[in-house]
Amino acid sequence: MKANAQRAANPDAEPEAPELTKSQLKLRNEIATKNAKMANLELEMERIEQKEELSAGQEKTLEKNQAAVGRLRDEITILEERMGNSTHKSAEQRKKEKREEDEAIEDSEFYDKTQEKKEKSVLDSGEALGLKELKELK
């Protein structure tokens, strides 16, 4: 409800990002790490390619780096898919939990109201008894 009130107050504001679970945070960090490795490999390849004549070792390094970049791209794609599936499941789980919570609140409010009426009638009768006992004691 708080988020709805905030959106109503400022409809142009972007919605808050959902909180990530520990496993989602781990996936996000793995993706960031692999992206950084890939960027470093690509930078190294650019620097090697800028040279006019490449030695056999430099050519071998280029091939090795290209293969590594390909593997990293595949791994990042897999991790991003896992992250997307996990986030989607989390969103569905939050919706389900919210519905269950709302239903529980509705049920508890119903029972609370009936309980309050019973408690009030018990208190009213108790107060009445207390007044009678006070009058008898005088």
Per-residue pLDDT band at 1 (split at 50, 70, 90): very low
pLDDT at 2: 47
Higher pLDDT, 42 or 133: 42
DSSP one-letter string for 51-112: SSS--HHHHHHHHHHHHHHHHHHHHHHHHHHHHHHHHHHHHHHHHHHHHHHHHHHHHHHHHH
Q: What is the mean pLDDT of residues 26-45?
A: 95
Mean pLDDT of the chain: 76
CA torsion 34→39→42→48, rounded to 10°? -120
Residue 11, helix vs strand vs coil? coil
Per-residue pLDDT band at 102 (split at 50, 70, 90): confident
Question: pLDDT (tens digit, 9 = 90+) per residue, 38-74?
Answer: 999 999 999 999 998 999 999 999 999 999 999 999 9
